């Protein structure tokens, strides 16, 4: 059963061959047996999962089943789950049990899906390797057979590793600068970062509020579409959510791609990209040509400014968002504070890890008196230039294609001593968050046995078209079906 897709599991449950309680128990048993190798989960919530499975079976007997009813999945440990610990990968929230559900959590519950637990992640979603988690690094299932412990990418590395290792058929993720797409690419799964405002951020612990967006991580575009059907939609509780109709994302998966205009941004095929990776990405583009697409080179002239703009905007917003962790209302508090200032400063020094502290300090610096215009305001202006590049490109083409990462999954510990080298991991993904447009990562081959991702970037609210393009590619390739040994 663990090898079946969401769509297949849904049909098994529908046919009555297996109940959700049986299915859930099978997945829980396998998860506990296997996850020691990967550390992809922070919390396995057996009790709640089995209770949800029981309700799902009842929902089905009452004739109220949806596609998701009784199907197991997992949430990134950034989505608040009422009664189940939500740590965000941090000591600060090591014992935090939210008294409410995120909107995304609520929607999966309403659909009858069964959440097996919470997946590991970089602390507060800050990282590209899942090594900054308080609960330990996650190991990529790919490369393990050679005895190598490679990173799964981050920050949604637990979700990516769990889906790749077939521990769950699908999991939620969040993407602020590449945190769905980069781990999806390094673990050979399918991930989608939706348009900013398409999925509610309510109850999704905030990192950089103008960039954060939740999205699906699954084994195929079809399953990602099924997840989007649950996740997308307006939410009055998120003040930046967009009130706009949600299509059925599965309805257009089979549209032919004849005439699809693909642009290749020349800045994303630069010398930062390893030649073997480039060959795989270009092979994938050739598959699209066979499917009737046309290809041309385009330019995103301000692409080289994206990392710099991001590392002002994201830390600045993080420093404001993370000011809520003060040891007063919930979360960690230091022992024996001697006064209020001591309590704040030690609680935050002890509760946050080093990468989180670095970003809070950079952000506080960029926002401090005398520096605001030079840093934050300047970065917001550059952000508009970057957005304008994409708007111009989409006047000529329907989608853009590029690599997701400059190189395949690296060995654990390789980049932890130099924060800036880690930041460059996101060189091809970060501009998409600044512009707020949607983009996917789709499995597109291997280099030395390690996965390569193809990034498909679309205009605002073009998620259905991206999923269609990914699904058609997955009808003529089998990269997404390959399993780590």
Contact 373, 354 (CB under 8 A): no
Tally Cβ neighbours within 10 Å of residue 290.
9
CA distances from residue 126 to 37, 41, 287 in whole angstroms, order as listed: 23, 17, 35
Considering only residues 78-107, where is the footprint of another protein by CB under 8 A? 96-97, 99
Which residue lies nearer to another protein by CB, 25 or 387?
A: 387
For position 385 contacting another protein by CB under 8 A, the verdict is yes
Near another protein by CB under 8 A: residue from 110, 251, 279, 328? 328
For position 108 contacting another protein by CB under 8 A, the verdict is no
Near another protein by CB under 8 A: residue from 30, 54, 149, 333? 333
Which residue lies nearer to another protein by CB, 79 or 96?
A: 96
Least distance between another protein and beta carbon 397 (Å): 19
CB environment 353-389: b (16+ within 10 A), e (fewer): bebbeebbebbbebbeeeeeeebbeebeebbeebbeb
> Considering 10, 128, 132, 179, which one is annotated as catalytic?
179
Report DSSP letters for 316-350, one per residue. Answer: HHHHHHGGG-SSSSSS---SS-SSHHHHHHHHHHH
The residues pairing with 171 across neighbouring beta strands, listed in sequence order, are: 74, 217
For position 383 contacting another protein by CB under 8 A, the verdict is yes
Cα atoms in the Cβ-side hemisphere of radius 13 Å centred on 362: 20
Least distance between another protein and beta carbon 176 (Å): 13
Near another protein by CB under 8 A: residue from 41, 73, 249, 375? 375
For position 308 contacting another protein by CB under 8 A, the verdict is yes
Which residue lies nearer to another protein by CB, 283 or 387?
A: 387
**Residue span 420-459 as binding mask against another protein, x where in contact by CB under 8 A, dash where not:** x--x-----------xxx----------------------
Least distance between another protein and beta carbon 364 (Å): 4
For position 309 contacting another protein by CB under 8 A, the verdict is yes
For position 207 contacting another protein by CB under 8 A, the verdict is no
- Phi, psi angle pair for 288, to nearest 5°: -65, -35
For position 460 contacting another protein by CB under 8 A, the verdict is yes
> Which residues does 428 contact at the CB level (< 8 Å), separation at least 6?
178, 268, 402, 403, 404, 405, 406, 455
> Considering 20, 76, 118, 402, which one is annotated as catalytic?
76
For position 245 contacting another protein by CB under 8 A, the verdict is no
For position 330 contacting another protein by CB under 8 A, the verdict is yes
Near another protein by CB under 8 A: residue from 304, 392, 475, 485? 304
| Widest CA span in the chain | 70
> Which residues does 227 contact at the CB level (< 8 Å), separation at least 6?
6, 170, 172, 215, 216, 218
Identify whether 354 is a catalytic site residue. Answer: no
**Active site amino acids:** 76, 155, 179
């Amino acid at each position: 059963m663990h090898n079946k897709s969401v769509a297949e599991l849904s049909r098994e449950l529908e046919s009555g061959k297996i109940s959700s309680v049986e299915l859930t128990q099978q997945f829980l048993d396998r998860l506990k047996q296997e996850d020691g190798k990967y550390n992809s989960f922070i919390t396995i919530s057996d009790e709640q999962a089995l209770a949800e499975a029981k309700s799902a079976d009842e929902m089905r007997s009452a004739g109220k089943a949806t596609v998701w009813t009784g199907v197991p999945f997992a949430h990134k440990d950034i989505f608040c789950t009422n009664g189940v610990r939500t740590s965000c990968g941090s000591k600060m929230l090591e014992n935090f049990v939210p008294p409410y559900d995120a909107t995304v959590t609520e929607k999966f519950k309403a659909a009858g899906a069964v959440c097996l637990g919470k997946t590991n992640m970089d602390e507060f979603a800050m990282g590209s390797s899942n090594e900054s988690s308080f609960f330990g690094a996650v190991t990529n299932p790919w490369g393990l057979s050679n005895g190598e412990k490679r990173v799964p990418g981050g920050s949604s590395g637990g979700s990516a590793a769990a889906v790749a290792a077939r521990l769950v058929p699908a999991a939620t993720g969040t993407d602020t600068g590449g945190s769905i797409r980069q781990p999806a690419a390094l673990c050979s799964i399918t991930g989608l970062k939706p348009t900013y405002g398409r999925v509610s951020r309510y109850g999704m612990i905030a990192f950089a509020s103008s960039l954060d967006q939740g999205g699906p991580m699954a084994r195929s575009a079809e399953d990602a579409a099924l997840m989007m059907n649950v996740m997308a939609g307006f939410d009055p509780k998120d003040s930046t959510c967009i009130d706009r109709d949600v299509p059925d994302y599965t309805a257009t998966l089979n549209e032919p791609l004849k005439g699809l205009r693909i642009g290749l941004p020349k800045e994303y095929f630069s010398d930062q990209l390893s030649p073997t990776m480039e060959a795989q990405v270009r092979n994938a583009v050739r598959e699209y040509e066979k499917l009737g697409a046309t290809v041309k080179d385009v330019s995103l002239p301000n692409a080289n400014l994206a990392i710099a703009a991001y590392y002002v905007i994201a830390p600045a917003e993080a420093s404001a968002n993370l000011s809520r962790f003060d040891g007063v209302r919930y979360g960690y508090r230091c022992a024996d504070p001697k006064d209020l200032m001591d309590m704040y400063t030690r609680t935050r020094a002890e509760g946050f890890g080093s990468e989180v502290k670095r970003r809070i300090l950079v952000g506080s610096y960029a926002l401090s008196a005398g520096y605001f215009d030079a840093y934050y305001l300047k970065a917001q202006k550059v952000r508009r230039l970057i957005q304008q590049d994409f708007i111009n490109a989409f006047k000529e083409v329907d989608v853009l294609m590029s690599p997701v990462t400059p190189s395949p999954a690296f060995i654990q510990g390789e980049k932890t001593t130099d924060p800036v080298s880690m930041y460059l991991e996101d060189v091809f993904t970060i501009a998409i968050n600044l512009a707020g447009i949607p983009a996917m990562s789709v499995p597109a081959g291997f280099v030395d046995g390690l996965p390569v991702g193809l990034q498909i970037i679309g205009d605002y609210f073009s998620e259905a078209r991206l999923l269609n393009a990914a699904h058609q590619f997955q009808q003529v390739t089998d990269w997404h079906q390959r399993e780590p040994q």
